[in-house]
Amino acid sequence: NPSFVNIKDLMNKRLPRRLVNLLRLLGAYGNELKMSVYVVGGFVRDLLLDIENYDVDIVVEGNGIEFAKYIGQQFDAIVVPYEKFYTASVIFRDGFKIDVATARTEYYEKPAELPQVDISTIKKDLYRRDFTINAMAIKLNPSEYGMLYDFFNCQKDLEQGIIRILHNLSFIEDPTRMIRGVRFEMRYNFKMEEHTLEVLKQNLEGGYLERVTGARIRQEIEKILEEDNPMKAIRRMTNLNMIKHIFPKTYYTQTMDEKLARLFKFLPKIKERYQSVSDFYAISTILLEYYDKQTLETVRARYGYPKKFIESIKFTENIMLPLKEMIELRLNFSDIYKVLGKANPYVYLHLSAYLTDEGQSYLLQYIDTISSTKLQTVTGKYLMGKYSLKSGPQINEILEKLFAMKLDNPNIDEEKVVSEIIEMYNSKLEKETENQPERE
């Protein structure tokens, strides 16, 4: 039951004036080129849901790149064409960006490969999309401006909170849609309907997710982690048996669930302190725990984790239980430092998953103390000058010892303490030489 209603009043009401003016102009320029112009996808979905979304995706029946270039001229905007896909981005002088595509039927040489493009009509274009809620268009040409094109009962699904594929090959054409489905479920509190779930499960078991590049999977997971309740999304993926198609040796247990929940509690604190911490790496510290070396290498290559990151997971999982004890017993920072040292944010996150709220706040104090503690007067140079020490591991050892002491006691007199440390070293040395039998 295709449905066409005009929603220009709604657009006027819900969209900023400037955006409405832009959309009208896009339609008018479409007429000049004799092309039908539509705004499509997430923009339409969120407009109808009354959720702010200014990601303008334009589809034209005709050559999208030609349209984009024309728009570029009219507005003196920058046009970035992607010839291979018949798409282009138009970046206006104020930085506002729209994406322009050519109406197309994507067909795939092999599943999960890049689409081949074939110029087509809006209806076919919409039919190739992921879910009904994302498969509506609004026409922008003046005579039909504001007309909502709904060929597949999309509005009804949107109203009823239903996520539905448009055809049975949807997940095969793009398996990342399985993850997108979960994301939309969580974001809008919608549900995938029965048939969609059935096809999803079949395609999951069919190994289609495994055929997608790791980079694309990772992108989708990152998007899910940016949503409001990532924990809920992970649980949903677990229930759908999706996790093991992403992380092949991960058996999601109650314990793992609790660890992740605690890690998510700590995550904002780490992000305040370390910019650019990746949520994907963060959850990986738990999801990849106790992996064998070979599988770790496989996922490393697939998802592009740095070698150092993988090594640090291995290192951390071995010291987790003693560290948990030490933190719960509130041992001195200097003692914790001997085991944990100055670690990277992912080691802290990994550890946080083992800790109660109180443990986490002690860990946070440790982290802050480590990063604010600096030796002021005693340096390697100082030691070489004042005590004629030769450069070498001994100097580092002394500096580390002093640093550890300062962690517990920030007001120590560095020069005094270091003289004591050196005295101790010397007397130890003397004792050792005294005890050695005299040689010829």
List of residues contacting ligand CTP (CB under 6 A): 41-42, 55, 57, 129-130, 134, 174, 176-177, 180
- The answer to whether 46 and 53 have CB atoms below 8 angstroms apart is yes
- The answer to whether 27 and 10 have CB atoms below 8 angstroms apart is no
Give 21's contacts (C-beta < 8 A, 6+ positions apart). none
* Least distance to ligand CTP, CB of residue 5, Å: 20
* Least distance to ligand CTP, CB of residue 62, Å: 19
- The answer to whether 188 and 228 have CB atoms below 8 angstroms apart is no
* Least distance to ligand CTP, CB of residue 55, Å: 5
Is 121 or 334 the residue whose CB approaches ligand CTP more closely? Answer: 121
Pick the closest to residue 100 from 150, 52, 66 (CA basis). 66
* Least distance to ligand CTP, CB of residue 165, Å: 10
* Least distance to ligand CTP, CB of residue 405, Å: 51
Is 177 or 406 the residue whose CB approaches ligand CTP more closely? Answer: 177
* Least distance to ligand CTP, CB of residue 113, Å: 13
Is 97 or 265 the residue whose CB approaches ligand CTP more closely? Answer: 97
Is 139 or 177 the residue whose CB approaches ligand CTP more closely? Answer: 177
Radius of gyration over every alpha carbon of the chain, rounded to an integer in angstroms = 30
Residue 203 CB burial class (10 angstroms; 0-12, 13-18, ≥19): buried
Question: Distance (Å, rounded) from C-alpha 31 to C-alpha 34?
Answer: 5
Is 36 or 176 the residue whose CB approaches ligand CTP more closely? Answer: 176
Question: How far from each other are the two terminal CA atoms of the chain, in whole angstroms?
Answer: 107
Is 24 or 223 the residue whose CB approaches ligand CTP more closely? Answer: 223
* Least distance to ligand CTP, CB of residue 216, Å: 9
| Residue least distant from ligand CTP (Cβ) | 42
Question: Distance (Å, rounded) from C-alpha 133 to C-alpha 255?
Answer: 36
Provide long-range contacts, Cβ within 8 A and 24+ apart, for 31-36: 31/141, 31/142, 32/70, 33/62, 33/66, 33/67, 33/70, 34/62, 35/60, 35/61, 35/62, 35/63, 35/67, 36/60, 36/61, 36/62, 36/122, 36/139, 36/141
Is 89 or 369 the residue whose CB approaches ligand CTP more closely? Answer: 89
Question: Distance (Å, rounded) from C-alpha 64 to C-alpha 85?
Answer: 10
